[in-house]
Amino acid sequence: MEARKKILVVDDEAQIIRVLRHILNAHGYAVHAAEDGEAGLEAFREWQPDLVLTDLQMPNVDGLKLTQTIRKASNIPIVILSVRNEEKTIVEALDAGADDYVTKPFGTNELLARLRSALRRVPEKADESVTVGDFSIDVAAHRAERNGNVLKLTPKEFELLTCLARNPDRVLTHTFLLRKVWGDYYSEQAEALRVLVGSLRKKIEPDPASPKYLQTEPWVGYRFDPLGTTQT
């Protein structure tokens, strides 16, 4: 019998913790709760969860700092659950290393689907290293370079770049990229991809406002030119 997946819930609202514990337990997950980021870090180290579900605004250590600290030590999925829905806040959380962002109030089915998608995220075994044009990617080591310079990428940025590098000079549709990076549940959510592309461009492009590597194909998707020979 497969062991239950362990989810660490970090939130300073007791009512939210009770609701999440009830939902997750009812769907077969083991749950451990912490009331702030400091307690969450301690639980993360001792309990070794399979996924962390955390609020952003908390006393002591907030959710953003918690995400950054965990991401330095582990590549486990981290999902943010917050009342804040500003694009700037969402981008900041994703840049810190979060895999997904769910706003409160949330639908139970949507939350469970996103958690399943995050838990399914497994590094691809094929092509453990990819070298194309100006880019070199070591999938197993989670390391990417451009012209010998190490790129500091979040997990989702790394997954997107790896997918692009495996399909150079091909037009990849929004749906294809969403499914590759997030899973089937996100196949129609082009806005999430747009935000991720924007954050990746800031790290791989000499001039993000005029990208030469990651080209936009209007109304269709994106194309990766690993040599940067074309420019929009």
Q: What span, in angstroms and rounded, lies between the C-alpha atoms of 178 and 189?
A: 8
Model confidence pLDDT, tens digit, residues 112-152: 998 988 887 644 444 578 899 999 999 878 899 999 999 99
| More confidently predicted of 72 and 31 | 31
User: Is pLDDT above 70 for 94?
Assistant: yes
Q: What is the model's pTM?
A: 0.60
Domain 129-224 top-level CATH class:
mainly alpha
Q: What span, in angstroms and rounded, lies between the C-alpha atoms of 83 and 225?
A: 38
Helix (H) / strand (E) containing 91 = helix 87-96
| More confidently predicted of 179 and 163 | 163
Model confidence pLDDT, tens digit, residues 193-210: 898 999 999 999 999 999
Strands (DSSP E) found in the chain:
6-10, 30-34, 51-54, 78-82, 100-103, 129-132, 135-138, 143-146, 149-151, 171-173, 214-217, 221-224
CATH of domain 6-120: 3.40.50.2300
Helices 87-96 and 190-204, interaxial angle, to 10°? 60
User: Which residues are paired to 82 by β-bridges?
Assistant: 103
Domain segments of the chain as ranges: 6-120, 129-224
User: Which residues are paired to 182 by β-bridges?
Assistant: none
Token pair listed for 194: 């747009």
pLDDT band at 99 (very low <50, low <70, confident <90, very high): confident
| More confidently predicted of 189 and 167 | 167
